[in-house]
A = this chain, B = another copy of it.
Amino acid sequence: MNNLTSRQFEIFEFIKKEIEFNGYPPTRSEIAKVFGFKSPNAAEDHLKALKKKGVLNIVSGASRGISIVKEDLGIPVIGLVNAGGPILAQENIEKRIPSSQNFLSHGVDFYLRVRGDSMIEAGILENDLIAVNKKAQIKKGSIVIARINDEVTVKTLKSISSELVVLQPENSDYSNIEVNPKTEDLSFEGTCVGLLRDFS
């Protein structure tokens, strides 16, 4: 944690637990009471320190005007997807890209690292990161992230009906993938809403 002293960490943890338990933050006096301070000002000093270190927000004048600064974990980058589990499972997360570091972050649930060359004619190359929105409407013509029998693949959705889904690679060396969702296990993980390529 953000170079807090051990005492500051205790106070910080207490505040978090209070919010969790009560639904609202403690007052200076409540903090002082729990830690045995004889003055609420001891708590005030701690709050100022915790604010300075960037882990708390303090709204001046507001009673209990304390909130936890939630760290920007960043948008996860998914590398290889392990079978049999959710795509966003911890073990699939290669790293995270802070949303503040990227203009392409609004409506992006995760980035998926592209494997293979099946989409090169759509300008999507191996190792590119495609930005995926999980909730955007899946529709004909959009580039979708599909899961067929637990295999994750990125393709253009060519057509969709209750008995036939056609996924089209954007590479003339490959042929269309036809799936019957009634007999095969098909799900959509999301829609491609952007692309990142790092030349470094």
Contacts and interface: CB of A to CB of B under 8 A. Distances in A.
Interface in A103-149: 147, 149
Task: Give chain A's interface residue range (CB within 8 Å of chain B).
Answer: 20 to 34
Interface string A15-35: 000010011110100000000
A23 B67 contact: yes
Contacts of A149: 83-84
A110 B19 CA distance: 26
A187 B83 CA distance: 10
Interface of A: 19, 22-25, 27, 57, 59, 62-68, 82-86, 147, 149-150, 185, 187
29 contacts: A19-B23, A19-B24, A22-B59, A23-B25, A23-B66, A23-B67, A24-B24, A24-B25, A24-B62, A24-B64, A24-B65, A24-B66, A24-B67, A27-B63, A63-B63, A63-B64, A64-B64, A83-B150, A83-B185, A84-B84, A84-B149, A84-B150, A84-B185, A84-B187, A85-B86, A85-B187, A86-B86, A150-B150, A150-B185
Given A24-B66, A24-B67, 8 more contacts: A19-B24, A23-B68, A24-B25, A24-B65, A27-B63, A63-B64, A83-B150, A150-B150
